[in-house]
Amino acid sequence: MKLTSYWLDTSEPFWGGAKGPIEGTYDVAVIGGGLTGSSAALALAKKGARVIMLEAETIGHAASGRNGAMCNNGFAQDYGVMSDKLGRETANRLYRAFDAGVDMVERLVAEEGIDCSFARVGKIKLAAKPEHYDKLARGQELLAAHVDPDTHMVRREDLASEIGSERYYGGLVYRKSAAMHVGRFVRGLAEAAARRGVAIHERTPMTGLTAAPGGGHLVDTPKGRFTAKQVLLASGISQVGPLGWIRRRVVPVGAFLIVTEPLPVDVLDRLTPRRRNAVDTKNLVNYFRTTPDNRLLFGGRARFAVSNPASDAKSGEILRAALHDVYPELRNARIDYCWGGMVDMTRDRLPRAGERNGVYYSIGYSGHGTQMSTLMGTIMAEVMEGQAALNPWKDFAWPAIPGHFGKPWFLPLVGAYYRIKDRFR
């Protein structure tokens, strides 16, 4: 079993990196080489900007290359709850932004010729308890009436057409959702940006960011200092560099995944007949899907803990037990990959994007960023040209989380709370 991301292990490394020291002046410095940064750098370069992108590790190393590679439309939260909280007009506008994110991924895959097995397989949200089905059905009725008629319910007695498991009590299908090989996608975006002249420096963290005397920003790196007229922070929960303001507003939460050995097609035809992305309704959520080479990926919030090799291995055992609970048929299947990654979670589980002190940012996708990060990278290229109205998150305040200064000391308490909720509610 490899303690590494399946997506990164089965995709070609990024080859278009810049060499040598860094100096001079750029129109835009993009900090972070994940989906937000790579899509933003590509969009900016298409506009003719001189762009440099800094990545502290390698392209896609963090959350962008360590997720479930589900390109899902719709909210993580219940649509009815979001409508009551935000108002129906705002909720619908944000819901459509997630739809637009899936469309953006599909468009970029086609335009840049990225071989990442993109497919509109749809998503099914599975009711972990009988009462969860009733809540999903009420939400789907509102969805169909107000924003997404491309949804439908599947009753428990009909669930075999969607999933070969007795564990669930029905589900809600979102037909617009897609799946892809996210390692090939994020590295393909970076290669496309490099082809258009973006200077991409891997293993090059930003170590300093100050105002330049003549305007713009001075950016320090281990390879040298340069000037950028504009800066975009696309750094997620990075603990590297002068990002204290961001760290007080996002909580790094571990997400963990396992991937089986390749499975016979007839087995997958029983377990997941439509090959949909699947996610359940538990607070300590589980999600699963097939990979392009016929493995089963199974992930979730196995533990509210940070990701490191020891933590990943412990989480892998928890996920193995959960996989066997859903699919007893896979009890003897070999687990080939196990890994973790850190999700940049905001307090309300909605992204934040905007500008502060002349520095732009798009962060906080809260575990649902594959499509939204790609959309927001592209949108931020427009926002930085003065099109602030295009930012769907422009009106959202972003106060610091009380008592949080970057180290998530409270995660074990949060995990215990959600375990209790899953058991009794």
Does some domain include residue 167? yes
123-157 as b/e: b if 16+ CB within 10 A: bbbbbbeeebbebbeebbebbeebbbeebebbeee
Query: Percentage of the chain surpassing pLDDT 90?
Result: 79
Q: What's the distance, Cα to Cα, between the start and end of the chain in Å?
A: 35
Residue 414: pLDDT over 80: no
Task: Encode pLDDT of 27-74 as tens digits.
Answer: 999 999 999 999 999 999 999 999 999 999 999 999 999 999 999 999
| One-letter identity of residue 182 | V
- Distances from the Cα of 117 to the Cα of 16, 106, 144, 173, 380, angstroms: 22, 10, 29, 21, 26
**Please, which residues have CB within 8 angstroms of residue 112's CB and are 6 or more apart in sequence?**
42, 188, 189, 192
Domain range for 231 is: 6-413
Does some domain include residue 422? no
The CATH number assigned to the domain holding 127 equals 3.50.50.60
CA nearest neighbour of 303 among 292, 289, 313, 290: 313
DSSP 308: -
Does some domain include residue 425? no
Does some domain include residue 1? no
- Say what the pLDDT of residue 421 is: 60
Q: In which band, very low, low, confident or very high, does the pLDDT at 196 lie, cut at 50, 70 and 90?
A: very high
Q: Which residue has the tokens 């590679």?
A: 69
Task: Encode pLDDT of 160-179 as tens digits.
Answer: 999 999 999 999 999 999 99
**Please, which residues have CB within 8 angstroms of residue 166's CB and are 6 or more apart in sequence?**
none
Residue 141: pLDDT over 60: yes
Question: What single string gives the DSSP state of each residue in 243-279?
Answer: -HHHHTT-EEEEEEEEEE----HHHHHHH-TT--EEE
SS3 362: strand
Q: Rounded distance, CA 5 to CA 14, Å? A: 15
Q: Work out the average pLDDT over 174-196.
A: 98
Q: Residues 116, 180: contact at Cβ < 8 Å?
A: yes
Q: Where are the alpha helices (DSSP H) in 178-255?
A: 182-195, 244-247
SS3 391: coil
Q: Rounded distance, CA 384 to CA 217, Å? A: 15
Does some domain include residue 418? no
Q: In which band, very low, low, confident or very high, does the pLDDT at 410 lie, cut at 50, 70 and 90?
A: low
Say how many C-beta atoms besides its own lie within 10 A of residue 334's C-beta.
10
- Say what the pLDDT of residue 417 is: 44
Does some domain include residue 97? yes
Residue 304: pLDDT over 80: no
Q: Which residue has the tokens 């949200």?
A: 125
Q: Rounded distance, CA 351 to CA 380, Å? A: 13
Does some domain include residue 308? yes
DSSP 51: E
Q: How many domains does the chain have?
A: 1
Does some domain include residue 370? yes
Task: Encode pLDDT of 89-108 as tens digits.
Answer: 999 999 999 999 999 999 99
